[in-house]
C-alpha cells in the first residue's frame, strides 16, 4: 500500500517522472526493496519546485482535496517523495484505492 493512514490525513509515497508528457497517476509500482509507491508523471520540469507543485495539484484534484491540504513531507529534490494530504483519512484512502484499482 503506497499510503499510510494518520489521524489527520494520509501520507502517500510517490515516484515522480518529470517531463512525462502529461499529468497522470499511473497506478502502483513496487520498488526493488518491496516498497509500494504511487506512480505519477507530470509535464513540469524538475526545476524550481515546478514538478513538486504539479504533483501537489494533481494529487489534490484526483483525491478531491483542496490544494492547500496537500504538502510535501520528504524528497523535495528526489524522484521518490512523500506527500501528506490533510483531511478525513478513511475517505482519502478509499479514493486513492478506487483511483488505482487496489483493494485494501
* pTM for this predicted structure: 0.91
Please count the other Cβ atoms lying within 10 Å of the Cβ belonging to residue 4: 14
Q: Range of 60's domain? A: 3-100
Helices (H), the chain: 50-63, 89-100
Q: What does the pLDDT look like over 37-51, one tens digit per residue? A: 999 999 999 999 999
Quick one: pLDDT at residue 89? 94
Unique residue bearing C-alpha cell 489527520: 8
Q: What are the two backbone dihedrals, phi and then psi, of residue 31, each rounded to the nearest 5 degrees?
A: -80, 170
Q: Please tell me the distance from the alpha carbon of residue 70 to that of residue 98, in angstroms, as a whole number.
A: 19
Q: What does the pLDDT look like over 66-96, one tens digit per residue? A: 999 999 999 999 999 999 999 999 999 999 9
CATH of the domain at 34: 3.30.1200.10
Q: Please tell me the distance from the alpha carbon of residue 10 to that of residue 31, in angstroms, as a whole number.
A: 20
- The tally of domains found in the chain comes to 1
Amino acid at each position: 500500500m503506497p499510503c499510510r493512514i494518520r489521524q489527520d490525513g494520509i501520507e502517500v509515497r510517490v515516484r515522480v517522472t518529470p517531463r512525462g508528457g502529461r499529468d497522470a497517476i499511473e497506478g502502483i509500482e513496487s520498488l526493488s526493496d518491496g516498497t509500494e509507491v504511487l506512480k505519477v508523471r507530470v509535464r513540469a520540469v524538475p526545476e524550481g519546485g515546478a514538478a513538486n507543485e504539479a504533483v501537489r495539484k494533481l494529487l489534490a484534484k484526483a483525491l478531491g482535496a483542496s490544494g492547500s491540504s496537500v504538502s510535501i513531507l520528504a524528497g523535495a529534490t528526489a524522484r521518490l517523495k512523500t506527500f501528506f494530504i490533510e483531511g478525513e483519512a478513511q475517505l482519502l484512502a478509499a479514493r486513492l484505492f478506487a483511483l488505482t484499482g487496489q483493494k485494501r
